[in-house]
Structure 1
Amino acid sequence: MMIDNDKLSSLDALVRGFDDPVHDAQACFRVLLDALARPGTAYSIDVALGDDAQRRWPAAAFAALLTLVDFSTPVWLQRRDESLAQAIRFHTGAPLADAPEAAAFAYIADAASLPAPDAFSLGTPEEPQGSATLLIRVDALEGGRPLTLSGPGIRSSVRAAPLGIADTFWHARAALATQAPCGVDCYLVCGRSVIGIPRTTRVELN
């Protein structure tokens, strides 16, 4: 049987996913749940990924995409990235969304040009689970604008200072508070580290 050389080249160029898809996805899912349950607390996603993936994207972001998305959850990529698009389609079966509002998940490679949260699906009062989840790559989880986080999962308050997100995003997010339970859940990712900020968390700029 003849094998198309173009297909072989595509397979050779494909970025490898998890070493152990079932075990690694379960481990990653637990970390992601913990991150949303304890907003503002940094967690590490310590699953094995190929060196190529870690050179291209934050390991936490790629692992989260491999874990959370499937054929029923369209993914929007802020920046055109055919390698990532190909990896998502191959490893998860998820379709790529053409616009933010059509996405169940979004990967934001450039936090400085992050769209306003209402550019994404906020869900409805009847189906708040229909909202989008944002994976936002930041330059660092410290050293940025100081934030005070409070709400469910936080005793009193916690501080965070992600580097790279404009104040306008936080202001726009705060304006959505009146639409609860609608909103967007956010993961801030840097390398293997991740911080969860669910829609129920109140964020104040200091």
Structure 2
Amino acid sequence: MMTANDTRSSLDSLVSGFADPVHDAQACFRVLLEALARPGTAYSIDVELDDDAQRRWPAAAFAAMLTLVDFSTPVWLQQHDESLAQAIRFHTGAPLTDEPEAASFAYIADAASLPAPDTFSLGTPEEPQGSATLLIRVDALEGGRPLTLSGPGIRSSVRVGPVGIADMFWHARAALSAQAPCGLDCYLVCGRSVVGIPRTTRVELN
């Protein structure tokens, strides 16, 4: 049974959320929306976050979760992280799930061991919005395997080079194109930077 001391200790260790929840969430949402509208372009999420949060997780990933998830969107964490789970529950009310296929949002802390795309919910033709959104932490957004992106929101093509994501993930993702409009929306996050790769974007390995 949890005691009053346990509760105080838990709250003392809780990582703070946005300094100004309404303003910061709105600012972050605009950036995240623009990132999906302009795939392959790096954007910066410049809202104020606790120093402890930024030491633990990419600021862009934590801010995105504070902005996008709520009580109706289960979250899957690739790696066990009680501090992050506690912060998500407290600040957003979102439930945590142990089943990736049940998640509306997934945080991938280790891109090298990113599960196959079909591990997650792809939505249905009737409700494609029921698919999962992946927040993938990468060590850098350039310097890795060159990828050429094309499709809606991109004039001709754009190249990115995220570090750490295995080729097989992109091959498996390409195989899902036949299931459109089902699919996955992805955000690559590194520090405060975020790059959107929506399901409508074609990704070719160079």
Give the drift of 1:6.
1.2
2:44 aligned residue: 44
1:161 aligned residue: 161
2:101 matches 1:101: yes
Q: What is the percent sequence identity of the aligned residues?
A: 88
Inter-partner Cα distance in structure 1 for 2:142 and 2:165 = 12
Q: Which amino acid aligns with 1:52?
A: D
Inter-partner Cα distance in structure 2 for 1:34 and 1:108 = 21
Give SS of 1:15's match.
coil
Give the drift of 1:4.
1.1
2:204 aligned residue: 204
Q: CA RMSD in A?
A: 0.7
Inter-partner Cα distance in structure 2 for 1:74 and 1:133 = 11
TM-score of the aligned structures, taking structure 1 as reference length: 0.98
Q: Which amino acid aligns with 1:112?
A: A
Give the drift of 1:99.
1.0
Q: Which amino acid aligns with 2:140?
A: A
Correspondence 1:107-126 to 2 at 5 A? 107-126=107-126
TM-score of the aligned structures, taking structure 2 as reference length: 0.98
Inter-partner Cα distance in structure 1 for 2:103 and 2:158 = 30
Deviations 1:37-72, CA, capped at 9 Å, x for gaps: 000000000000000000000000000000000000
Give the drift of 1:97.
1.1
Inter-partner Cα distance in structure 2 for 1:99 and 1:149 = 30
Give the drift of 1:87.
0.2
Q: Which amino acid aligns with 1:57?
A: W
Deviations 1:84-118, CA, capped at 9 Å, x for gaps: 00000000000001111000000000000000110
Inter-partner Cα distance in structure 2 for 1:98 and 1:137 = 19
Correspondence 1:67-78 to 2 at 5 A? 67-78=67-78
Unaligned runs of 5+ in 1: none
Deviations 1:165-195, CA, capped at 9 Å, x for gaps: 0000000000000000000000000000000
Q: Which runs of at least 4 in structure 1 moved beyond 4 Å after TM superposition?
A: none
Q: Which amino acid aligns with 2:59?
A: A
Give SS of 1:46's match.
coil
**In the comparison of the two structures, how many residue pairs are matched?**
204
Inter-partner Cα distance in structure 1 for 2:167 and 2:15 = 34
Correspondence 1:6-25 to 2 at 5 A? 6-25=6-25
Inter-partner Cα distance in structure 1 for 2:190 and 2:104 = 21
Give the drift of 1:5.
1.3
Unaligned runs of 5+ in 2: none
